Amino acid sequence: MAKATKKQALGRGLSALLKETSTDINSVSDKNADKLVGTIVEIGLDNIEMNPFQPRTYFDEEALTELANSIKELGVIQPITVRKLEGNKFQLVSGERRFRASKLIRNTTVPAYIRLANDQEMLEMALVENIQRKNLDPIEVALSYQRLIEEIKLTQEQLSIRVGKKRSTVTNYMRLLKLDPIIQTGMRDGFISMGHGRALINVDSSENQLNIYTKIVKDKLSVRQTEELVKGLKEGKTTTKKVTKTPSFVKNSMSDLSTFFGSKIAISANSKGKGKMTISFTSEEDFNRIKNLLK
């Protein structure tokens, strides 16, 4: 029964619908809007623009390949969500992994649920849906919360209700943004966990945060060991080895480099600007992808 319903919903292509409806539908009150908005239709991938409000900045290539293989065998089980723009153009609201995976296997269309939204509604939908459905890294979640508070003008209490999280959970994520940018990048790249980050928040000095962060990565400290180290530091019972301050040009570029390469990036540099950068890869295919980016 479910299959029959899905087939009926997808049976009429976008072109057929647009022939019967105005291409300038901008609100639900426009003529024939009900024939297009709220329906699921096959949309050409070339007719869909990327979502400028997408909170996720890193897409694991191996996971995308697995999803692409699944789509090749079973199709896109859950339609993506788009908002209608001018004419036959649409903008992605949610489902970027499904969109990317469909392109990866050279599909030309994708099933999509059509909505109408202004930029503010678009931002809120994209952020809330991604927070709820995707396994964002802790910093991406924190940045999404921050954008909802600053751009949608929500209080932390309103935000907690909107995303279905306790207010204390929202607070814990947002406190991570007080960490040194190097540590935030390390968390995004998986070198440390959110638990490590929460422990480091209790260290006032950015220099001491970085010293402890270096020790965590080098000695593979657990969250419990990190908490004990921070406790000892605050009580004056222990000291950490001083590390060379990382130049600002490195700090400011780590996140951009990680996003560009789509891989974990490790950078070390001295105060004179001399250092090295390590780019991680997961397979021969991933290595070749990175190599092509360097051409």
CA 179 – CA 251 distance, rounded (Å): 12
Torsion of the alpha carbons at 40, 41, 47 and 50, rounded to the nearest 10: 20
What is the residue range of 35's domain? Answer: 2-117
CB 215 within 8 A of CB 228: no
pLDDT for 198 equals: 94
**DSSP strands (E only) in 47-126:** 48-49, 80-84, 90-94, 109-115
134 within a domain of the structure (yes/no): no
Residues 287 and 185 in one domain: no
Q: Among this protein's residues, is 49 annotated catalytic?
A: no
In a domain, 156, yes or no: no
Q: Is 249 exposed, middle or buried (0-12, 13-18, 19+ CB in 10 A)?
A: exposed
Q: What is the pTM of this model?
A: 0.51
pLDDT at 87 over 50: yes
Helix, coil or strand: residue 231: helix
Q: Which residues contact 44 (CB under 8 A, 6 or more apart)?
A: 14, 108, 109
Give a yes or no: residue 71 inside a domain: yes
| Rounded Cα–Cα distance for residues 59 and 294 (Å) | 19
Residue 13 counted as domain residue: yes
Whether residue 206 is contained in a domain is answered as: yes
Say whether both 34 and 105 belong to one domain: yes
- CA–CA separation, 34 vs 21, rounded Å? 9
- 109 and 39 share a domain? yes
Q: How many domains does the chain have?
A: 3
Residue 36 shares a structural domain with residue 71: yes
- Per the CB < 8 A criterion, the answer to whether 76 and 40 are in contact is no
Q: What is the mean pLDDT of residues 191-213?
A: 92
Torsional sign, CA 230, 236, 240, 243: positive
Q: Are residues 238 and 252 in the same domain?
A: no
**Looking at 96, 124, 151, 227, which residue is catalytic?**
96
Residues 234 and 279 placed together within one structural domain of the fold? no
| Domain final position from 78, 100, 117 | 117
Residue that the structure tokens 């153009």 belong to: 89
Q: Is 67 among the domain residues?
A: yes
Inter-CA distances, 152 with 121, 161, 219, 272, Å: 9, 14, 42, 42
Residues 260, 233, single domain; the answer is no
Q: Read off the tokens for 167.
A: 């207010």
The verdict on 35 and 113 lying in the same domain is yes
Q: Are residues 74 and 10 in the same domain?
A: yes
37 with 104, same domain: the answer is yes
| Nearest-10 Cα torsion for 129, 134, 138, 139 | -60
Q: Give the best-scoring range by mean pLDDT among 9-18, 114-123, 181-190, 256-265.
A: 181-190
pLDDT tens per residue, range 25-41: 555 445 455 556 567 88
What is the band of 228 on the pLDDT scale with cuts at 50, 70, 90? very high
User: Could you tell me if residue 38 is inside a domain?
Assistant: yes
121-178 pLDDT per residue, tens: 666 776 776 676 656 788 888 888 888 888 778 888 888 888 888 999 999 999 999 9
Residue after which a domain boundary falls, among 217, 242, 267: 242
Instruction: Answer yes or no: do 192 and 273 share one domain.
Output: no
Q: Are residues 13 and 107 in the same domain?
A: yes
